[in-house]
């Protein structure tokens, strides 16, 4: 499941299929059926708010090794000889969220330097996404080392996991919408007061349109 991708899918469905021009749209994903509220003007979708489901917070749910029913908050871990503390969250995929309190530290350099090692650390049997985050004026600046991809411009599930982690670490308050600033733009995340769900709100914009003739690929499809 891709948090940013589902907003794009919701936009295309709403704008191209009259039968689906409604709000909310319910879309089935590998992480379950997610509800998308559409904000549109004259039939053009401007933003989509997605109910991202319940964050998984225990060691076995994330998962971590060893498993268990405990939450993982400010837990020690090291990468390339440097100590960190991470909070573990799953949004259908695993995340290790690390808050960097040094205002002069470069979050992207941290992600590029330590993300590959942390992704493959033995603590994470399915590998993990790694978030390097900083609280600034009530907002969160975030760079994500995405599992299997590396540095990405934005990660919707990563933004959700980071705000959940901020609440668990008492850096933020559940129930309040938080702006998360990623290299590719800003998402707005709200964690339910009882941690029963996470709402992600963000823009959706058409970049290009193309057509694919599947018959030209028939020989390569098995």
By the 10 Å C-beta count (0-12 exposed, 13-18 middle, 19+ buried), 138 is classed as exposed
Which distant-in-sequence residues (6+ apart) come within 8 Å of 29 by Cβ? 1, 6, 92
Classified as helix, coil or strand, 165 is helix
Which residue out of 2, 149, 160, 167 is catalytically annotated?
A: 2
Candidates 36, 155, 160, 167; catalytic one? 155
**3-class SS of residue 190:** strand
Q: Look up tokens 């996404």; give the residue.
A: 129
The answer to whether residues 161 and 98 touch, using CB atoms and an 8 Å cutoff, is no
- CA–CA dist 83, 93 (Å, integer): 24
- DSSP letter at 65 equals S
Nearest to 147 by CA among 162, 124, 129: 129
Q: For this structure, is 155 an active site residue?
A: yes
* Angle at alpha carbon of residue 213, lines to 207 and 215, rounded to 5°: 155
Q: Which residues pair with 50 in a beta bridge?
A: 36, 200
Residues with a catalytic annotation lie at 2, 155
């Amino acid at each position: 499941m891709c948090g940013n991708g589902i907003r794009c899918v919701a936009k295309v469905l709403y704008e191209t299929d009259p039968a689906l021009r409604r709000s909310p749209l319910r879309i089935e994903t590998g992480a379950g059926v997610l509800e998308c509220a559409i904000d549109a003007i004259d039939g053009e979708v401007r933003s989509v708010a997605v109910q991202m489901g319940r964050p998984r917070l225990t060691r076995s749910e994330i998962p971590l090794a060893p498993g268990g029913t405990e939450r993982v908050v400010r837990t020690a871990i090291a990468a390339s000889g440097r100590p960190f503390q991470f909070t573990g969250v799953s949004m259908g995929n695993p995340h290790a969220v690390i808050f960097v309190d040094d205002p002069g530290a470069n979050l992207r350099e941290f992600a590029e330097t330590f993300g590959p090692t942390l992704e493959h650390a033995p603590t994470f049997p399915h590998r993990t996404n790694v978030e390097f985050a900083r609280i600034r004026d009530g907002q969160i600046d975030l760079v994500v080392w995405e599992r299997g991809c590396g540095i990405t411009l934005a990660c919707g599930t990563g933004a959700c996991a980071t705000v959940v982690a901020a609440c668990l670490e008492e850096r933020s308050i559940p129930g309040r919408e938080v702006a998360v600033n990623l290299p590719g733009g800003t998402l707005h995340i709200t964690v339910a007061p009882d941690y029963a769900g996470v709402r992600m709100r963000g823009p959706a914009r058409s970049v290009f349109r193309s057509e694919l003739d599947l018959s030209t690929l028939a020989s390569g499809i098995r």
